[in-house]
């Protein structure tokens, strides 16, 4: 058995590439890195890699992580600037025994020494988004923290190895140096090849309060199906946050176990995800929670076309 599952529709092309690798007896580390790179490289996805939206100083600071579920090797970069593929740097760092999570200049120095590709990650399109948002913020006093989405994945190869990885530009208009859940082990991602893995997207500050990816893996270890584990973890954290703090931020989780069974849960409307396994062609789903249960629906061709059209539509300065 092999399989790969990822947050958001934007992962679909990457998932397809990864499924080719996995179907041809490839490695879960290579497959997941290839899939995440595809998302990082596509400039019209404005929350990951090239084309990602900047922080409040108009700089694109990226977070990414990689974990190997056989060895628990884990590497991460946070608030890194001017490198094309943060996921590859995170994977490279996962081979280090110490110093495997690096931030900002430290991460950039390491990436430079290791010969990773430098690139200005701020696109003209992202600059227009930034300027428009500045104008809106001035005029309407809306909250700047919207327009984010992390690509997070869990992958299983034919040999039983599992990996998990994330990549994101974090929250649009975040403070310089702000780090979300995505590069934080146990919150943005976790994987144990003997059990399964999980990955998160949503409001990092709230996802971290539940160490939610680890919690899902823990529930799967107790015998829960990935779907039940995701629903329980998301509902519990959503409820706790509302009880203690009056509100809960966006929480969306994907998971897969070592048998290739998968699950997804969210507390928002319109969460999409992509999945492919030895038994299932790459498929994009839309999901919503109804009375604590998530209902997944295959995305229609019309929805998929519309999605790309909106992402790539010409953008003008307001
Ligand atoms: N979780 C990410 C962060 O807080 C953003 C997202 O997934 O939308 O940085």
Among the atoms of ligand 1, which is closest to the Cα of residue 252? 7
**β-sheet with 62-68: strand ranges across:** 101-103, 74-80, 62-68, 162-168, 151-156, 3-7, 271-277, 280-290, 293-298
Confidence of residue 141 (pLDDT cuts 50, 70, 90): low
List all residues whose CB is within 6 A of at least one atom of ligand 1: 148-150, 168, 170-171, 180-182, 201-204
Average pLDDT of the chain, as a whole number: 95
**What is the maximal distance between C-alpha atoms in the chain?**
56
Q: Are 314 and 293 in contact (CB under 8 A)?
A: no
How far apart CA 266 and CA 254 sit, in angstroms, is 9
Mean pLDDT for the stretch of residues 266-283: 96
Active-site pick, 150, 166, 201, 277: 150
pLDDT in tens, 151-209: 999 999 999 999 999 999 999 999 999 999 999 999 999 999 999 999 999 999 999 99
The tally of CA atoms less than 13 A away on the side-chain side of residue 147 is 19
**DSSP state at residue 208:** G
Give domain limits for the chain.
Answer: 3-312
- The two structure tokens encoding residue 316: 């003008």
Which residues neighbour 205 within 8 Å (Cβ) at sequence distance 6 or greater? Answer: 180, 181, 249
Identify which of 6, 45, 53, 148 to mutate to test ligand 1's pocket (most ligand atoms within 8 A of the CB).
Answer: 148
The tally of CA atoms less than 13 A away on the side-chain side of residue 221 is 13
Q: At what angle do helices 86-93 and 28-41 cross, to 10 degrees?
A: 150
Gap from CA of 218 to ligand 1 centroid (Å) = 22
pLDDT of residue 318: 85
pLDDT in tens, 237-252: 999 999 999 999 999 9
Phi, psi of 7 (to 5 degrees): -75, 140
Q: Selecting from 3.40.50.920, 3.60.20.30, 3.30.750.210, 3.30.70.270, what CATH number does the domain 3-312 have? A: 3.60.20.30
Q: At what angle do helices 12-23 and 28-41 cross, to 10 degrees?
A: 150
pLDDT in tens, 22-61: 999 999 999 999 999 999 999 888 899 998 999 999 999 9
Q: Is it the case that residue 143 has pLDDT exceeding 70?
A: no
pTM assigned to the model? 0.96
Please say whether the dihedral angle defined by the alpha carbons of residues 273, 275, 280 and 281, taken in this order, is positive or negative.
positive
Identify which of 204, 210, 212, 252 to mutate to test ligand 1's pocket (most ligand atoms within 8 A of the CB).
Answer: 204
Which residues neighbour 14 within 8 Å (Cβ) at sequence distance 6 or greater? Answer: 6, 34, 35, 36, 37, 38, 39, 151, 153
How far apart CA 72 and CA 181 sit, in angstroms, is 18
Q: Are 192 and 69 in contact (CB under 8 A)?
A: yes
**Does 201 qualify as catalytic in the annotation?**
no
Q: Of 238, 202, 201, 193, which Cα lies nearest the Cα of 220?
A: 193
Which residues neighbour 302 within 8 Å (Cβ) at sequence distance 6 or greater? Answer: none
How far apart CA 294 and CA 204 sit, in angstroms, is 21
Q: Are 190 and 198 in contact (CB under 8 A)?
A: yes
């Amino acid at each position: 058995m092999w399989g790969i599952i990822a947050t958001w529709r934007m992962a679909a092309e990457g998932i397809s590439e990864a499924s080719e690798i996995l179907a041809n007896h490839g490695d879960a580390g290579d497959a997941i890195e290839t899939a995440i790179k595809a998302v990082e490289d596509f400039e019209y996805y404005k929350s990951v890699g090239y084309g990602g939206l900047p922080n409040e100083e108009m700089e694109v600071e990226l977070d990414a992580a990689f974990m190997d579920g056989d060895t628990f090797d884990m590497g991460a970069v946070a608030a890194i600037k001017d490198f094309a593929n943060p996921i590859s740097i995170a994977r490279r760092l996962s081979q280090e025994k110490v110093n495997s999570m690096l931030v900002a200049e430290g991460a950039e120095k390491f990436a430079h020494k290791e010969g990773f590709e430098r690139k200005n990650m701020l696109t003209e399109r992202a600059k227009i988004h930034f300027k428009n948002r500045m104008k809106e913020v001035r005029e309407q006093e809306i909250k700047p923290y919207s327009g984010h989405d992390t690509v997070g994945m869990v992958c299983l190869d034919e040999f039983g190895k599992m990996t998990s990885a994330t990549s994101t530009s974090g929250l649009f208009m975040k403070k310089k140096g702000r780090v979300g859940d995505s590069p934080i082990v146990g919150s943005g991602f976790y994987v144990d090849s003997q059990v399964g893995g999980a990955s998160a997207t949503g409001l990092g500050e709230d996802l971290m309060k539940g160490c939610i990816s680890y919690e899902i893996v823990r529930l799967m270890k107790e015998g829960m199906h990935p779907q039940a584990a995701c629903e329980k973890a998301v509902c519990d954290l959503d409820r706790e946050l509302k009880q203690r703090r009056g509100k809960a931020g966006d929480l969306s989780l994907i998971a897969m176990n070592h048998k290739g069974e998968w699950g997804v849960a969210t507390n928002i409307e319109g969460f999409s995800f992509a999945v492919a396994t030895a038994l299932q062609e790459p498929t994009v789903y839309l999901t919503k929670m109804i009375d604590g249960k998530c209902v997944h629906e295959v995305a229609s061709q019309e929805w998929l076309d519309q999605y790309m059209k909106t992402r790539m539509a010409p953008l003008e300065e307001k």
